[in-house]
Amino acid sequence: MKNFYIHISSLIILVLVFMSSCQHKPNTTIAQALLLAGEHPDSALALLNNMQFSKLGKSEQAKYAVVYTMAQDKSGLDVDEDSLIRIGYNWYEKHPEDSLYAKCQYYMGKYYMLNDSTEFAIRCLDRSYKASEKIDDILTECLALEKLSKVEKMTDAKQALLHARMAIDKYERDTTASLANKIYFRLNLCEALEFADSSAIALKECKIALNLAKELGDSLVLADVYQDMSRLFHDVGMYRKALTCAKEAYLYRKSMFDTSNALALADAYCDVDSTLQAKDILAKVSKDSHASRHLIYYIRCKAAIREGQIQPAIVCLDSSNYYLDKMYCTTMQVKNDYYVSVLQKEKEEARLQGEITSQKAATVLTVVLALIVIIFVLYIYNTNKKQAKQKATMAEQLHAQELSHRDIQICTMRNFLLKKIDIMEKIESMRNETEKHILISEDDWNEIEVFLDSVENLFVSRLRAQFSGLTKKDLRLMMLLRLKMPQKALALIYGISEKAIKQKLFLYKAKVGIEKEQISLREFINTALN
């Protein structure tokens, strides 16, 4: 009997040693990949691709997911789907003390940013920069601040500007700071200033970025700086200088023909009445996407107006709007299909988990029946408690996915309207209209109402029933507020100043009975009416 116990003990020790050695190797490989991901992402991906993900433990899978996503990002690949990073996100949500928590939140936030989920992106990026600050990870902190400002620029220009400046100030203190990152942080500040209606100041910052880019000597970086500078010169009405910068950007990328640079150059030629040159460049641009076709027809419309050809301009404008609508519809369909698949996957996993739980319960029950009644009762109690918790967790996850789906739909609709407004504003300005007033068609209003009723729990119908005194115009203003349209866009739609919009929103508080309450009309529409 003694020998038996000795043999058993030895076997257990051997198993434990084996398990320890199996766990050590994956952790070591992932740690090596993490070290390589920054400067040698291809090597990091090669290491990770040789690993069997399914055989890793939960913590290892989470670490693998973050490092793999990081290596992809450093290789120039955007995080356009979340199946991998979400594994890391779900684990690190419960382990905020881990050193990779901040990076995980950053890449999850970047995913949400690229997929027009503003609120979720802000939440993740805010967590990332705060967590990075605690562990003195300056690069991740500054990257999170930069992306945070990009997300905020459409809804809160002042906050976007604050975070853009914070990223630069913090990064300048880092002795190991990359010159390329310094340049792009500066360009992000220029963009934030542009959205804050400070294009003149943005130009000064852009010139600083240009000097840094010349020092770096990277042609792709120089192309990006010149393209941004061209846009800023255009904003302040210096069209010749805008054209010069657009030419520089085009030349630096000519060897690889960048569609964005080409379209920007064609647009710049139009601004100085060089329509033939613009058309020549447009002929070289590929029409492989709705976005490129939308911009091609928009510039052609612009050129036709410059040439006094109103009828061709109208035809091109119709085509431009057609492909803009296509972009919107395609985006909405892709997002909808994705979230439907996510919900179906979650439901299927919940069903399988239920079957597994039932099978385990039946097996255990067979054993417990041979034991005393007290053990059986305790088992049943604990099992029911765990199942209830699992069901609650699964319900919360499904609800979160549904909210995310709704959030992305709202953001997509908002971006769609803003693009339409931008086109219409430019067309009206080219026709030398003195007053800027963007007209939204009845079809557009009807589409917005149907959209909000479908994704926002009958928002318009509830608003109409709760406040019967609201007119059609009143309801439409509330609809725009629900879409979180910025003040500038509202001013263009109603043909009044942004200051007048603020006064209008204040006066409208009385129509919904909140004139004496310490809450804005926007806050009431977006929170109190949920």
Averaged over 121-145, what is the pLDDT?
95
**Looking at the domain assignment, is residue 12 inside a domain?**
no
460 lies in which domain range? Answer: 436-530
Average pLDDT, the chain: 80
For the ranges 7-21, 236-250, 267-281, 291-305, the lowest mean pLDDT is seen at 7-21
**Looking at the domain assignment, is residue 512 inside a domain?**
yes
**Looking at the domain assignment, is residue 88 inside a domain?**
no
Task: With a cut of 90, say whether residue 180 has pLDDT above it.
Answer: yes
Averaged over 316-327, what is the pLDDT?
82
Number of domains observed in the structure of the chain: 1
Share of the chain above pLDDT 90, in %: 34
pLDDT for 362: 57
Highest average pLDDT, of 126-140, 326-340, 343-357, 466-480, comes from 126-140
**Looking at the domain assignment, is residue 27 inside a domain?**
no
DSSP summary character for residue 518: S
Sign, Cα dihedral of 512, 518, 522, 527: negative
Mention every residue, 6+ apart, whose C-beta is less than 8 A from residue 296. Answer: 263, 282, 285, 287
**Looking at the domain assignment, is residue 46 inside a domain?**
no
Q: What share of the chain is helix, strand, coil (3-state, %, to 5)?
A: 80, 0, 20
For the ranges 10-14, 145-149, 378-382, the lowest mean pLDDT is seen at 10-14
pLDDT for 341: 57
**Looking at the domain assignment, is residue 69 inside a domain?**
no
pLDDT tens digits for 479-499? 898 888 888 888 888 888 888
Closest CA to 314 of 305, 306, 323: 305
Confidence of residue 434 (pLDDT cuts 50, 70, 90): very low
Averaged over 196-205, what is the pLDDT?
91
**Amino acid identity, residue 454?**
S
Averaged over 448-452, what is the pLDDT?
86
Confidence of residue 402 (pLDDT cuts 50, 70, 90): low
**Looking at the domain assignment, is residue 10 inside a domain?**
no
**Looking at the domain assignment, is residue 83 inside a domain?**
no
Closest CA to 416 of 275, 321, 316, 286: 321
Task: With a cut of 70, say whether residue 399 has pLDDT above it.
Answer: no
Task: With a cut of 80, say whether residue 2 has pLDDT above it.
Answer: no
